[in-house]
Amino acid sequence: MSKDSYAAAGVDIAAADRTLELIKPAVRATYTPHVVTDVGSYGGMFALDLSRWREPVLVGSVDSVGTKVMVAAAAGQHGGVGYDMVHHSVNDIAVMGAEPLFFLDYYATAKLEPEIAAEVIGGLAAACREVGCALVGGELAELPGMYTEGHYDLVGTIVGAVDRSNAIDGSRVGDGDALLALPSVGLHTNGYSLARKVLLADAGLDLHAVPAGLEVTLAEALLAPHRCYLAPLRALWSAGLLRAAAHITGGGVYDNLPRVLPKGWGAQVRRGTWPEPPIFGLIARLGQVPAADLFRTFNMGLGMLVVVAQADVEAAHAALTAVGSEAYLVGEVTAAHAGVVVAEA
C-alpha cells in the first residue's frame, strides 16, 4: 500500500498539516498567561488562577453553529461563523455569571480545504481573543462520506468559572420583576433550517441580492454574527442588579425564558416594545409562518432577556448604557401562571 492510500480514500493528511500551519498564529494570539501547552499538544492545559475566586465553580457548555454553516458555504463567507460559535458559547455561560476561561473547537468536513478552515478558525480565534478566552485546543476532522462535499460542521466547547456565591441561578427572581431585552442582530445561530427552506428552497431568493424589506443583501442579513452579551451582563453583575438572564436560542422565548424562572412561574412579553430585525418579517411573510412558530423557532430580536427588580429598572438602564448596550423594557415575570405569553403591546 502506497503512502498516498489514505489520500485516495478521501483523507488528506497534508491538507490537515497545511491548515494547522495557517491557524497557528491566530490560535497562539488567544493565549493568556494561564495557558501551559502549545498548539499540537494532545490536550490543552490551563492553569486556574485560584486567587480570582473564593470558591470557584467551573461552568462548561458545548454547542454548534447548526445549519448556518450551509448559508456561509453557499455565500462563500466563512469568518463570521467563528464569531457565532464563540459568542453563542460565551453567552450560555455568562447567564450563570461565569467568566470565560478557555475554548476548544471541532471542525469537520468531507474534504478539508485549508484556506476555508483557516478562515473559520481565524474568526473563532479572533472572537476568543476579544473576550479574553484562550483557544487551547481543537480537532480538524476530514470525514468523506459523512458530510456533503463543500460543507463543514463547527462545534465548540467553552469552560468558564464563577464564584459559587455569585452564581446566577434565578433564585432571587420575584413576582413582578421586570424583563429587559438586549436586542439581537438577526437569527444569531438558530432557526436556519426553517429560514433556508422559506427563503432559499421555496422562494428561491438570491443570497447576494437585496430582497424587498431588507436594506442589506440576504447573505449579510443571514450571516450577521451572533451578538456577544458578556459586557452588558458584567455591568449588571458588578452593580448587583441581575436576578436572572436567559439567552434566547433554539426554542425561542417560549422554551428559554422558563429555564431561569422559579418552577411553575411564567412571564408576560409585550410584542412591539423592542425592534424586530426585518429578516424575521421577511421569513414570516414569504413562508406564512404563524407568530407562535416564529417565537418558538427564532429569537425575534430578543437576543438576551435579563430579569431585574422593577425598582432597579432605571439603574439597570444606566449600567447598560454605560457599556454601550441598548435595552428595552418588554415585560415582567409573573407567579400567576406558568409559561410565556407573548401579546401585542
Residue 284, C-alpha cell as written in the block: 414570516
pLDDT at 3 over 70: no
Taken in order of first residue, the domains within the chain and their CATH numbers are: 5-166 (3.30.1330.10), 178-344 (3.90.650.10)
| Burial of 24: CB neighbours in 10 Å, binned 0-12, 13-18, 19+ | middle
Residues near 172 by beta carbon (within 8 Å), at least 6 away in sequence: 243, 244
Rank 28-42, 143-157, 220-234 by mean pLDDT and report only the highest.
220-234
* Mean pLDDT of the region 89-113: 97
Contact 224, 84 (CB under 8 A): no
| Burial of 204: CB neighbours in 10 Å, binned 0-12, 13-18, 19+ | exposed
pLDDT at 309 over 90: yes
Contact 52, 98 (CB under 8 A): no
pLDDT digits (tens, 9 = 90+) for 216-271: 999 999 999 999 999 999 999 999 999 999 999 999 999 999 999 999 999 999 99
pLDDT at 2 over 60: no
Q: How far apart are CA 216 and CA 211, in angstroms?
A: 8
Q: Are strands 266-271 and 152-163 parallel, antiparallel or unpaired?
A: unpaired
Angle of helix 230-238 versus helix 313-322 axis, rounded to 10: 130
Residue 204, C-alpha cell as written in the block: 428561491
Given this model, what pLDDT does residue 1 score? Answer: 44
pLDDT over 90 percentage in the chain: 88
Contact 76, 207 (CB under 8 A): no
**Mean pLDDT in the chain?**
95
Residue 64, C-alpha cell as written in the block: 454548534
Contact 133, 30 (CB under 8 A): yes
Alpha carbons within 13 A on the beta-carbon side of 29: 16
Q: What is the CA radius of gyration of the chain?
A: 21
Place 200 in a pLDDT band, splitting at 50, 70 and 90: very high
Contact 145, 263 (CB under 8 A): no
Q: Which of 344, 318, 330, 108 is nearest to 232 (CA)?
A: 318
pLDDT at 152 over 60: yes
Contact 28, 39 (CB under 8 A): yes
Q: How far apart are CA 115 and CA 152, in angstroms?
A: 13
- Other C-beta atoms lying within 10 Å of the C-beta of residue 264: 10
